[in-house]
Amino acid sequence: MRRLCIILGDQLNLDSAIFNDFDRQQDLLWMAEVHVESTHVWSHKQRIALFLSAMRHFAAEVTLRAYPLHYLKLEQHHFPSLAQALGDCLQAMKPKEVRMVHPGDYRVWADITATCKSYGIELNLLHDNHFLSTPVDFQAWASERKQLRMEFWYRELRKKHHILMVDDKKPCGSQWNYDHDNRKSFPKSGPSALPPLLTLQNDQITEEVIHLVQNRFPSHSGSMSDFNWAVTPSQAQQVLAHFLKHALPQFGTYQDAMWQDQPFLNHSLLASSLNLKLLSPLDVIKQAEACYLQNLAPLAAVEGFIRQILGWREYVRGLYWLRMPQWTQWNALDAQHDLPAFYWTGDTDMNCLRQSIGQTLQHGYAHHIQRLMVTGLFAQLYGVQPMQVHAWYLAVYVDAVDWVTLPNTLGMSQYADGGLMASKPYIASGKYIQKMSNYCQHCRFNPEKATGADACPFTTLFWNFLDRHEMQFATHPRMGFMVSNLRRLSTEQLMAIRLQAEGLTF
């Protein structure tokens, strides 16, 4: 054999570089389902099912295209890890070379590199052509800057790929960013005319996988009853078309809003399809851009959506590879609490958390503001160890893959990197959640109150966070006003907040 070509569970693009120069006579594709990928973090049942079903559909497709493929199904072998499964195969097949598109997970990259080395076989890593930039591009950009803000990286990529541009320099609408138009909360009456939910049909492969997961991983978190995730490129295109038609025009305006018992609102539900590479980000961006050019959606909505994919998504990937493996060691706020047990059950009186965690367990999904300003905010204010927070996000979301989960969690959400990613910690009191949702109306706590029996734990912990980190942020240009507000509290108020915060144990 000339080459063994590994395809990982999140590399399911049929135009992957792994097919370049592939010789059906001398080369072999290799895919493996392994137990540890579902247990190294305690994965949600829907996340496991999504990966397995999408992998099996991909395997069926490449086989149809007459590619030779060696596929190890979970129930057909006993190798506990990818490295052991690969090692066994290398020993038996003795390829001259192993090829693989660069993995999205440092741990997997390290394991496969070490395995090939131990068998004395060369590992050839290919660029991932799914993305619109490379880690090397990002490194070059980063090396010329003191601060690595997403906005400027995003503008580079807008120019480079000519997205929403009038000419080489001028953005459509003469403005790069419509963020200020995109922060509205719903009126008191709530969201009107929400997009209908698209229901996908599970075929036999998906049904078998659902059955397998229920039998093999019964103690894992999450419900399986509402599995409705795209597992093939054509299903992913269906989800995209549905989003562009029904949700994109309102996407920007209510991007940060939340509402009781409404898990999806105007969000696209595309992250899992993008991260498994069932969809090309450039194709998604171009289709969204076409909606603006054809007057089907306003510029603010289209720009807001494109910024998430061309801006944030490419940026977090760049940051991940720029600073791995150091990321995992950082804990700039010295957060030492354990993750509260209710993150795995949703069993808490705090309605915003009950809602956000409840829908996460039900669907493997929460939208960005629920992740950042409810579950992430609480963990940060309470002071949970960042890697425990990361392990939770990596486990419970269907779209979770290390390169994207880790910077979002440790950087944007927990400020564990001390400001590499976010210019300040994303902190707020319960009043922010009150403003952006109607959760507080269904809660026994009062977001205005920091002390007393009905004090909102977010509000108590917000002041307590500032109190604990006062010295760290007193001179911070964007945190100074919060510290000044803290200093306006009387000694009695401060003592009462400290006492209340000490009483909060989860």
Ligand X SMILES: Cc1cc2nc3c(=O)[nH]c(=O)nc-3n(C[C@H](O)[C@H](O)[C@H](O)COP(=O)(O)OP(=O)(O)OC[C@H]3O[C@@H](n4cnc5c(N)ncnc54)[C@H](O)[C@@H]3O)c2cc1C
Which residues are near ligand X by CB under 6 A? Answer: 267-271, 274-275, 308-309, 312-313, 316, 367-368, 371-372, 376, 393, 397, 399-400, 404-405, 408-409, 412-413
CA distances from 210 to 43, 345, 488 (A): 14, 21, 56
Residue 257 lies near ligand SF4 (rule: CB under 6 A): no
Residue 373 lies near ligand SF4 (rule: CB under 6 A): no
Residue 85 lies near ligand SF4 (rule: CB under 6 A): no
Residue 439 lies near ligand SF4 (rule: CB under 6 A): yes
CB of 267: closest distance to ligand X in angstroms?
3
Cα(414)–Cα(364) distance, integer angstroms: 21
CB of 455: closest distance to ligand SF4 in angstroms?
9
Cα(500)–Cα(505) distance, integer angstroms: 10
Name the pairing type of β-strands 69-72 and 27-32.
Answer: parallel
User: Are the CB atoms for 404 and 302 separated by under 8 Å?
Assistant: no
Cα(86)–Cα(207) distance, integer angstroms: 28
- Write out the two tokens for 466: 């500032």
Considering the complex, state which of residue 312 and residue 439 has its C-beta at the smaller distance from ligand SF4. 439
Cα(306)–Cα(389) distance, integer angstroms: 28
Residue 393 lies near ligand SF4 (rule: CB under 6 A): no
CB of 258: closest distance to ligand X in angstroms?
12
Residue 18 interacts with, from ligand X, ligand SF4, none (CB under 5-8 Å by kind): none
Q: Is 284 helix (H, G, I), strand (E, B) or coil?
A: helix
Considering the complex, state which of residue 151 and residue 347 has its C-beta at the smaller distance from ligand SF4. 347
CA distances from 16 to 251, 276, 277 (A): 30, 12, 9
Selected from 370, 434, 460, 464, the binder of ligand SF4 by CB under 6 A is 434
Q: Is 339 helix (H, G, I), strand (E, B) or coil?
A: coil
Considering the complex, state which of residue 111 and residue 399 has its C-beta at the smaller distance from ligand X. 399
Residue 376 lies near ligand SF4 (rule: CB under 6 A): no
Considering the complex, state which of residue 58 and residue 186 has its C-beta at the smaller distance from ligand SF4. 186
Residue 381 lies near ligand SF4 (rule: CB under 6 A): no
CB of 344: closest distance to ligand SF4 in angstroms?
18
Cα(178)–Cα(241) distance, integer angstroms: 23
Q: Which helix (H) or strand (E) holds 45?
A: helix 45-64
The footprint of ligand SF4 on residues 304-363 (CB under 6 A) is 350-352
DSSP secondary structure letter of residue 249: H
Q: Which residues bind to ligand SF4, rule: CB under 6 A?
A: 350-352, 430, 433-434, 439-440, 443, 445, 447, 456-458
